[in-house]
């Protein structure tokens, strides 16, 4: 696993990206508000991009466009936050390899990583929201199948699920506590989305072997905000007002997670 490769380019990309959009560059987040603790740096990762469209929905919407719209909206909502600094892995329709996304999060010193996705299924009946953190095995065969589909975006060879390296990474994550924090982040995100979208079904917090999560060294989750292939949910997802509700729920979840992390850091 070539973790070091490409980092200089990524750091440059981070500076360009944050510079262009007016968000704080790494280490230059400005003076913290008086009395406040260090802001939590959160990397939002709009899934797919460029030639990699992701799922294509009933309304003709491409997953890559929806994830980008959500990421940009969440960043906008949190732009004035005293608790959170948001950095996006991409701000336009470009392709990023899965391993580049977490390498980017490492390069900017992220405290948390959220990869944004929409679901798809061969069954037109499948619908609902689910949030994942890493597991060597999925919570169920459906979770395994979803991870396989999302992992197809990887160009750089990534270790397979049965690879001893994966087991080693997972045991490292468990040891340094990010597994527990990841499951906490997943729970906050899932609860917030379900609260904001009472008509949506909760498919709960689950585990799966997502390639994009395997190399994350910080709390990391994949959020699947709904099924683009469901006749109703797919059309709802295409609506700006519905996207806005999702983005607000994600922003509020990120702020809750930041507050909880700050409280944990301060201790009792
Ligand atoms: Zn996806």
Q: What pLDDT, in 10s, does the model give residues 59-115?
A: 899 999 999 999 999 999 999 999 999 999 999 999 999 999 999 999 999 999 999
Residues 235 and 127 sit within 8 Å (Cβ to Cβ): no
The C-alpha atoms of residue 263 and residue 268 are separated, in whole angstroms, by 8
Q: Which domain holds residue 220?
A: 38-266
- Cα of 164 from ligand 1 centre, angstroms: 26
Is 129 a domain residue? yes
The C-alpha atoms of residue 151 and residue 24 are separated, in whole angstroms, by 30
Is 85 a domain residue? yes
- Cα of 39 from ligand 1 centre, angstroms: 28
Task: State yes or no: pLDDT of 10 exceeds 60.
Answer: no
pLDDT band for position 265 (cuts 50, 70, 90): confident
The C-alpha atoms of residue 132 and residue 224 are separated, in whole angstroms, by 8
- Cα of 193 from ligand 1 centre, angstroms: 18
Tally of domains within the chain: 1
Tell me the whole-structure pTM to 2 decimals: 0.83
CATH number for the domain including 168?
3.40.630.40
**Residue 207: φ, ψ to 5°:** -115, 145
- 161/256: higher pLDDT: 256
Task: State yes or no: pLDDT of 132 exceeds 80.
Answer: yes
Average pLDDT (204-218) is 90
CA separation, residue 238 to residues 7, 79, 229 (Å): 35, 24, 11
pLDDT at 46: 98
Is 165 a domain residue? yes
- Cα of 41 from ligand 1 centre, angstroms: 23
Average pLDDT (24-38) is 48
The end-to-end CA distance of the chain, in Å, is 39
Name the maximum alpha-carbon separation found in the chain: 53
């Amino acid at each position: 696993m070539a973790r070091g490769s490409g980092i200089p380019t990524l750091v440059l990309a981070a500076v360009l990206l944050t510079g262009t959009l007016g968000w704080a560059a790494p280490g230059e987040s400005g003076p913290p508000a008086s009395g406040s603790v260090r802001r939590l740096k959160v990397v939002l990762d709009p899934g797919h991009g460029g030639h990699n469209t992701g799922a294509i929905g009933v309304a003709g919407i491409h997953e890559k466009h929806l994830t980008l719209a959500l990421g940009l909206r969440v960043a906008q909502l949190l732009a004035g936050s005293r608790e959170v600094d948001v950095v996006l892995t991409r701000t336009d329709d470009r392709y990023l390899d899965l391993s580049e996304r977490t390498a980017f999060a490492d390069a900017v010193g992220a405290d948390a990583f959220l990869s944004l996705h929409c679901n798809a299924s061969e069954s037109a009946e499948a619908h609902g929201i689910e949030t994942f953190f890493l597991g060597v095995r999925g919570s169920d065969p459906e979770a395994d199948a979803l991870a396989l589909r999302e992992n197809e975006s990887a160009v750089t060879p990534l270790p397979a699920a049965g690879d001893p390296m994966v087991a080693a990474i997972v045991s490292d994550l468990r040891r340094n506590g990010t597994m527990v924090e990841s499951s906490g982040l997943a729970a906050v995100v899932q609860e917030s989305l379900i609260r904001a979208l009472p008509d949506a079904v909760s498919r709960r917090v689950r585990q799966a072997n997502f390639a994009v999560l395997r190399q994350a060294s910080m709390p990391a989750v994949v959020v699947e905000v709904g099924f683009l292939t469901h006749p109703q949910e797919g059309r709802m997802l295409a609506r700006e007002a519905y996207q806005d509700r999702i983005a607000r729920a994600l922003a509020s979840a990120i702020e809750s997670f930041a507050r909880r992390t700050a409280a944990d850091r301060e201790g009792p």
